[in-house]
Structure 1
């Protein structure tokens, strides 16, 4: 069918450029309830995602282009699908741009060999680790769990000569833990995604989350706090790299699309901070080459090769990350999809960063700062006030601040870690954030 789609696209005189991605997916799914495996299955899917570029006219008659897309399943009407994509493209009038041409794609580690070899057995093994570890915890119960292991194959071809293939695996683990003491109950929802089962580290994760669930039984509302706030591991990764759906402040403000749209005020060669810098210097890469990174790839949806792009060096903007379209608009290199966030190691040991007193945030309900201003007021699911050797749990309240102001006054640990879409210091001490409370 791929050949037929390409032949149909090449026959169209109204389409100036096109990209086709043939995507096949095979996923093993395992579902568990408290005492047994409820269901297990393997599902497969296949589709063809077509993007077209058509020459159009701007309102003043000057040359413009429009884009349209369609997703086809095996057996769908090819010409009808292309007609729909071309119709949408014909109604759009954007400044002229092209699509990427061929380039060399780097080798990036993206595949869990065990998952590729036998996805269902691998997911059953992961589920067994979850259930066995949870069963050993006193006063904590696993009420539900789901494990998904996917193998994805992508073949991308475009009208400028790109013909590239890549294979990726992904693992997702979701579970609910419940703790009960007398008439008090607490519940924790845990989710984790990686490309390799070994990076999920289910046994250690269940141990940590079970202890947090128990601590929720003793948690009370926080008192208002202004000062040092510690973020570590997955929580720090969420703060820095955001989520696949919402992205991050860094990703938005360093985007060529945001710069072109005048959303971002950042300028190459200038500091990304507006005020005084009291913390460690900030250096950040947008890295799509992180081994087994959840946002890593050999090439992106346009066909642009993976790169490790230095965005910020010693507080100053070095580059924007850019799609082909916005790279041409701004006259900057086309770097492709953002990828993961990478930071260099800090100069202070994690133990020194934990000087008391401080507040540590373990779980947010959802860290969702304003993508333009960076302001945030995020509900806290679980945190600790640490003072005089006492670690007191709390829940509720909000962490309040501004993303860029926080980065202007932070110290990073010398110890580093990998957390899916983040590679860098595993502990950060933000020196002046607020927790709203009683």
Structure 2
């Protein structure tokens, strides 16, 4: 440590000696010039000399760094030393140019020979080389002695701060949108981040994704299979884990569906409406298709029909489906062929709420006196709202027009009873005004 400090002090003394020689040479030159030239040159020389002395003070500070001060302070001093060296180089060049210009532009140029200017420049150049050499030597010495394993005090450790591009902790993905390219572009696609952040581990997963390498290739895959751009946001919002699936697996699942004679348009529609579809393996998709074909005794064409219209049958749990099939057969009393007929017309019956299904059937069959075969012929009534069915039937019954037998006059079909708007219902079936129907609803 003492040897390094001595070397730095020797370099500083050498600089001072060189500066004194430069100043004396410049003084001799100024004596042969006019007073104006002398005054300007000496002023520039002493200004330069003052700057060099200040820089020498700064460059001597690293002796304290070598004695064991903090790395952070050392780096700050090193930066100051480099700035001072740059100022020394600039003043050296300006002084040389100033002297040469004044010597050439003066009337008494015969008294100021070009040899003096050359001598002045030759005095400056070694100083510049010496400063550059000392700077390189100083950087090497500091880099050799400063270690990342050096022990620092608690105060210095607390003062160390590292700028962070992302907030360390946040309860909302909104705080990361401006810093994350992936999140900002997902927002532009229409992804609802407020829905995703409510799901565990999804927010951290999205922050780890790179848009160009993780997101963009999968969006391009969706576009290639026919999914519209407007559906990208919906798909990612409901199934963000699609972004972590490999492209090979995604392509193999699409190829399987096409091998089962699903058209390209049907596959694109299924993926758009059931985002989790492509997260399931080929084996699972095959088991699901086999289940519906076997349980409902359907042909391959009819199986594709119900799955294409309700693709979430391949994604959801099979337990509600099994339970609804048992309810239709055992509790509601439908035959297997009637259940098949109902499912082909309204696949949503398989995933409907069991209590709602029983409630509507009970009202239609026991209150409205509609037999099983008529319900199986118009199964849309099982997928309608219970309140609508009840209000309209009671209004027709109040008017004496509740007639659902196709063999009798003034027959009203179940599908039109629950599907037409209120105005059409009043004018075509009830033969009453809309105001009368609204007044009747208030009595219920």
Q: TM-score, normalised by structure 1?
A: 0.20
Q: Larger strand proportion, structure 1 or 2?
A: 1
Max radius of gyration: which structure?
Answer: 2
Structure number with higher helix proportion: 2
Choose between structure 1 and 2 for higher RCO, CA contacts under 8 A separated by at least 6 residues.
1
